[in-house]
């Protein structure tokens, strides 16, 4: 019996996907970016764990706390960026902006939606953490809310930059809605302290607001302490990012109107 | 009579190519202006400039004697738009989509307005249907209903007749004519269905490569160019 299998056709299928890389930055990003982030993240966690696990019981809860906080950041950022993409995918962006809706009102609506998403995700995570692991996250005190607010404003900054880049580069840049926040993950001291990082990475993490938030969270969980100067630094840098990202978004929005991209995006 | 819309020396270029050159026209209450031209003539770009989502390189757009670039929100609250080429969020029902836009246009008593429009545009039985389940004709009906939410003084329609069956087409033609006569609505529409367009418009704007070929009242144009239909006029320039 003759097997009906052609190497040429297999090559054709392979080429079909390979050609995508030729025209797509996002696919290169997918190929190179995630493995790099994963390796760095888990490498630094390993380094931290190698230093030894202290005997007191609360130590391990820092990871649960960090996970809840990181989720707040991700939900808030995606609430903004993916919300915007939903309008692009639905080819609804033109409908929105031929109405009296202003870009500022649009952003305000997305900010509220992202808060809703972050709140809902946090509620579920903290409930589960309490029920399954007996870890009452919010018992750390009211200072947690100050930390959360800084995280959310930073998340909005990333969301705004993502939206601006999608307006500038087109739908090709939509992968950034999932990827951009993770760029900050290795430098944010989420699951390990900044001291674990090499000197160059430590310098970078000083410019990343969540690093101060997560260091403070660790202090709270492990030592029941709080560093006010970390909080001020987090807010100061976050506001700079937020203002820059707002300016960048409005600049890209107006440019998209000039270049006619606003009507073509999503086609 | 008051000019509702005045377009002054509008021009638009992308990189080094001019897609619209020196476009000027006026729209009065009850006018129905048909913009015709082959693909790539600049019809959609012109509509998008009139809607403020594309910034012109030259010239200005005045609605109700107010500059669109300066009074965007006030002006757009009185303008409606529907396009065959655009859709509404698929995961929302017909009613939910209309409700969202009723909020954006600050429609008073939105529920009763939505019911009225569902009735007018024959979408009542689709009220709870997800938008993704609509046919292209039904999507156009929904787009039209959305465009009437704010009781616009000027309506811009991009290929509104595409995808509609002949019966509904006739109904829509009568509906639009009634609105222009009774409520003094003015309409700008683009369409490739010249026969259909001829039955409704009183003014015509012929575009070629972004330039005005002909503009004026339809009867006068027919007289001047010695033609009997829009199709004849079209092929006089584009054959």
Helix (H) or strand (E) holding B9: strand B5-14
pLDDT at B37: 92
B142 lies in the same domain as B162: no
pLDDT at B148: 96
Contacts of B103 (CB under 8 A, 6+ apart): B110
Q: What would the DSSP string read from start to end of A154-206?
A: HHHHHHHHHHHHHHHH-GGGGGHHHHHHHHTGGGTTSSS-GGGS-HHHHHHHT
Q: What are the chain B neighbours of A257 within 8 Å (beta carbons)?
A: 52-55
B140 lies in the same domain as B165: no
Cα A98 to Cα B62, B76, B81, B109, B202, distances in angstroms: 16, 7, 7, 22, 25
Question: Is B88 in Cβ contact with A95 (below 8 Å)?
Answer: yes
Helix (H) or strand (E) holding B25: strand B17-27
Question: Is A262 in Cβ contact with B44 (below 8 Å)?
Answer: no
B74 lies in the same domain as B121: no
Q: What are the chain B neighbours of A100 within 8 Å (beta carbons)?
A: 72-74, 76-77, 104-106
Class of residue B5 by CB neighbours under 10 A (exposed 0-12, middle 13-18, buried 19+): buried
The reply to whether A4 falls in a domain is no
pLDDT at A190: 92
3-state secondary structure of B172: helix
Question: Is B83 in Cβ contact with A99 (below 8 Å)?
Answer: no
Q: What are the chain B neighbours of A110 within 8 Å (beta carbons)?
A: none
Residue of A nearest to B46 (CA): A260
To test the contact with chain A by mutation, choose from B89, B96, B157 the residue with the greatest count of A C-beta atoms within 10 A, namely B89
3-state secondary structure of B127: coil
Please tell me what DSSP assigns to residue B93: B
B147 lies in the same domain as B190: no
> What are the phi and psi torsion angles at B128 (to 5°)?
-95, 5
What confidence tens digit (pLDDT) does each residue in A116-172 have?
Answer: 989 988 888 888 888 888 888 888 788 999 999 999 999 999 999 999 999 999 888
Residue of A nearest to B16 (CA): A259
**C-alpha–C-alpha distance, residues A185 and A142, integer Å:** 25
B171 lies in the same domain as B71: yes
B212 lies in the same domain as B179: yes
B27 lies in the same domain as B143: no
CA distance B131 to chain A (A): 10
Question: Is B146 in Cβ contact with A91 (below 8 Å)?
Answer: no
State the angle between helix axes of A176-183 and A25-50 in degrees (0 to 180), rounded to the nearest 10: 30
Nearest to B121 by CA among B71, B89, B154, B80: B80
CA distance B24 to chain A (A): 20
The reply to whether B191 falls in a domain is yes
B171 lies in the same domain as B199: yes
**Which domain covers residue A81, as residue numbers?**
25-258
Torsion of CA A143, A148, A151, A157, to 10 degrees: -120
Contacts of B198 (CB under 8 A, 6+ apart): B34, B218, B229, B230, B231
pLDDT at A267: 62
B159 lies in the same domain as B180: yes
**Nearest CB partner across the interface for A98, out of B12, B45, B81:** B81
Nearest to A58 by CA among A126, A2, A168, A133: A133
Q: What are the chain B neighbours of A250 within 8 Å (beta carbons)?
A: none
**Nearest CB partner across the interface for B53, out of A90, A92, A257:** A257
The reply to whether B85 falls in a domain is no
CATH code of residue B168: 3.40.50.300
> What are the phi and psi torsion angles at A46 (to 5°)?
-60, -45
State the angle between helix axes of B110-120 and B94-104 in degrees (0 to 180), rounded to the nearest 10: 130
The full length of chain A comes to: 267
The reply to whether B208 falls in a domain is yes
Residue of A nearest to B87 (CA): A91
Q: CB distance from A263 to chain B under 8 Å?
A: yes
**Which domain covers residue B53, as residue numbers?**
5-78+154-238
Q: State how many domains chain B has.
A: 2
Q: State how many domains chain A has.
A: 1
The reply to whether B194 falls in a domain is yes
> What are the phi and psi torsion angles at A43 (to 5°)?
-65, -45
Q: Which residues of chain A have pLDDT under 50?
A: none
Please tell me what DSSP assigns to residue A135: -
B61 lies in the same domain as B173: yes
Q: What are the chain B neighbours of A263 within 8 Å (beta carbons)?
A: 44, 48, 53-54
Chain B residues in contact with chain A using a Cβ-Cβ cutoff of 8 Å? 12, 14, 44-45, 48, 51-55, 72-74, 76-77, 79, 81, 83, 86-91, 101, 104-106, 146
pLDDT at A50: 80
B161 lies in the same domain as B74: yes
Show pLDDT as tens, one digit a residue, over chain B (239 residues).
689 999 999 999 998 899 999 999 999 999 999 999 998 889 999 999 999 999 999 999 999 999 999 999 999 999 999 998 888 988 899 999 999 999 999 999 999 999 999 999 999 999 999 999 999 889 999 999 999 999 999 999 999 988 788 899 899 999 999 999 999 999 999 988 898 899 999 999 999 999 999 999 999 999 999 999 999 999 988 87
The reply to whether B83 falls in a domain is no
Enter the ipTM: 0.92
Q: What would the DSSP string read from start to end of A54-119?
A: -SSGGGGHHHHHHHHHHHHHHHHHHHHHHHHHHHHHTT-HHHHHTSS--HHHHHHHHHHHHHHHHH
The reply to whether A267 falls in a domain is no
**C-alpha–C-alpha distance, residues B88 and B109, integer Å:** 22
With left for phi above 0 and alpha for psi between -120 and 50, is residue A176 left, alpha or beta? alpha
Residue of A nearest to B106 (CA): A100
Q: What would the DSSP string read from start to end of B43-62?
A: HHHHHHHHTTSS--SEEEEE
B65 lies in the same domain as B30: yes
Question: Is A94 in Cβ contact with B48 (below 8 Å)?
Answer: yes
The reply to whether A107 falls in a domain is yes
């Amino acid at each position: 019996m003759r097997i009906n299998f052609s190497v040429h056709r297999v090559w054709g299928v392979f080429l079909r996907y390979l050609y995508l890389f030729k025209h797509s930055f996002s696919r290169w990003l997918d190929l190179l970016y995630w493995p790099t982030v994963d390796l760095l993240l888990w490498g630094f966690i390993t380094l931290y764990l190698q230093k030894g696990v202290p005997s007191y019981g609360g130590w391990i809860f820092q990871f649960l706390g960090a996970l809840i906080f990181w989720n707040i950041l991700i939900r808030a950022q995606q609430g903004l960026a993916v919300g915007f993409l939903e309008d692009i995918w639905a080819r609804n962006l033109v409908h929105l902006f031929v109405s009296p809706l202003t870009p500022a009102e649009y952003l305000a609506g997305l900010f509220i939606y992202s808060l809703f998403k972050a709140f809902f995700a946090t509620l579920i995570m903290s409930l589960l953490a309490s029920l399954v692991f007996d870890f009452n996250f919010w018992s750390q005190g009211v200072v947690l809310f100050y930390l959360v607010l800084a995280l959310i404003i930073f998340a909005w900054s990333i969301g705004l930059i993502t939206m601006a880049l999608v307006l500038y580069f087109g739908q090709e840049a939509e992968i950034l809605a999932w990827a951009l926040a993770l760029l900050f993950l290795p430098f944010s001291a989420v699951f390990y302290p900044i001291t674990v990082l090499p000197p160059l990475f430590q310098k970078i993490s000083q410019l990343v607001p969540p690093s101060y938030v997560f260091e403070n969270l660790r202090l709270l969980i492990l030592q029941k302490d709080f560093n006010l100067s970390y909080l001020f630094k987090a807010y100061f840098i976050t506001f700079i990012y937020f203002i820059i990202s707002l300016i960048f978004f409005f600049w890209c929005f107006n440019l998209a109107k000039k270049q006619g991209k606003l009507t073509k995006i999503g086609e | 009579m008051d000019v509702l819309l005045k377009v002054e020396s509008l021009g638009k270029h992308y990189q080094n190519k001019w897609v619209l050159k020196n476009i000027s026209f006026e729209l009065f209450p009850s006018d129905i202006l048909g913009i015709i031209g082959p693909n790539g003539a600049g019809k959609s770009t012109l509509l998008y400039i009139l809607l403020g989502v594309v910034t012109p390189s030259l010239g200005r757009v005045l609605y109700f004697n107010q500059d669109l670039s300066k009074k965007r929100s006030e002006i757009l609250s009185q303008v409606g738009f529907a396009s065959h080429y655009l859709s509404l969020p698929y995961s929302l029902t017909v009613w939910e989509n209309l409700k969202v836009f009723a909020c954006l246009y600050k429609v008073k008593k939105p529920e009763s307005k939505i019911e009225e429009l569902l009735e007018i545009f024959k979408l009542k039985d689709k009220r709870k249907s997800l938008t993704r389940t609509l046919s292209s004709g039904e999507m156009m009906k929904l787009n039209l209903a959305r465009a009437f939410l704010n009781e616009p003084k000027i309506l811009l329609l991009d290929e509104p007749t595409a995808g509609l069956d002949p019966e509904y087409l006739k109904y829509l033609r009568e509906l639009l004519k009634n609105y222009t006569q009774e409520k003094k609505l003015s309409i700008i529409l683009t369409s490739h269905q010249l026969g259909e367009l001829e039955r409704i418009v009183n003014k015509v704007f012929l575009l070629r490569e972004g330039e005005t070929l002909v503009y004026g009242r339809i009867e006068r144009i027919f007289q001047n160019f010695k033609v009997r239909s829009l199709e004849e006029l079209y092929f006089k320039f584009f054959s």
